[in-house]
């Protein structure tokens, strides 16, 4: 059984709405930077990482995280933050291997995993946790990519710092009340199901004091 929570807040910051068109034109260039707000596409299954104020009816009972096919849903935006405060200055390029938190823009909860089974595939449950962007140490993920920085045109993996699983989708679909959405879960090894690419969003420009990723 699913337990719907209170009606979600579906408003994005005005800055995000105003800048979407310009940001879309810049896709495929440069590095993903700290403070950027973006959507993440699972390259194997063609779904975007998503959350909403609908809680799991089993496992942790926390806010569910799913994959959706549409590109227009505002509940698919995530903000890139450091693994701890001060570790990811606004506009700094995200390094390969860096610890980050992914904060869901509309609900303020962080991408999270822990030792609960996922409801459909019995892999490791992935949820959204915390309040106002503040959760715990199980919100931290390591960006796995080649080279020095996470570039927008390249696929990356997210490995959980605490339990070492990879953020994954294998295609299982939910029924009511989120019919057709895909289960997102953690898997123990890297494979085709845990490859992600930055898509639509607002990408904060690197500050003048940061090195240019294109020159490294």
List the beta bridge partners of residue 133: none
Say what the pLDDT of residue 51 is: 98
User: At CA 156, angle to CA 151 and CA 162, rounded to 5?
Assistant: 125
Sheet strands (E) in 76-173: 78-82, 99-104, 110-117, 124-129, 141-144, 157-160, 166-173
Q: What is the mean pLDDT of each run of 10 residues along the chain (216 residues)?
A: 44 41 44 96 98 95 97 97 89 96 98 97 98 96 96 97 98 94 98 97 79 52
Full set of structural domains in the chain with CATH = 33-202 (2.80.10.50)
User: At CA 108, angle to CA 16 and CA 164, rounded to 5?
Assistant: 110
Say what the pLDDT of residue 63 is: 98
Residue 114, φ and ψ in degrees, nearest 5: -170, 175
For the whole model, what pTM was predicted?
Answer: 0.84
């Amino acid at each position: 059984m699913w337990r719907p929570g209170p009606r979600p807040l579906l408003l994005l910051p005005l800055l995000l709405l105003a800048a979407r068109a310009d940001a879309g034109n810049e896709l495929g260039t440069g590095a993903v930077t700290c403070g950027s707000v973006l959507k993440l596409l699972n390259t194997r299954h063609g779904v975007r990482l998503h959350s909403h104020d609908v809680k799991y009816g089993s496992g942790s009972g926390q806010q569910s995280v799913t994959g959706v096919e549409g590109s227009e849903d505002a509940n698919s935006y995530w903000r890139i933050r450091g693994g701890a405060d001060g570790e990811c200055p606004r506009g700094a390029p995200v390094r390969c291997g860096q610890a980050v938190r992914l904060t869901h823009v509309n609900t303020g909860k962080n991408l999270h995993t822990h030792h609960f089974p996922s409801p459909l595939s019995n892999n490791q449950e992935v949820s959204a946790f915390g309040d106002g962007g503040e959760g715990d140490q199980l919100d931290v993920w390591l960006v796995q990519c080649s080279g020095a920085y996470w570039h927008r045109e390249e696929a990356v993996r997210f490995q959980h710092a605490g339990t070492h699983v990879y953020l994954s989708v294998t295609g299982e679909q939910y029924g009511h009340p989120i019919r057709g959405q895909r289960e997102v879960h953690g898997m123990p090894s890297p494979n085709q199901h845990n490859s992600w690419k930055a898509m639509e969003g607002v990408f904060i420009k690197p500050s003048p004091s940061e090195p240019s990723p294109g020159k490294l």
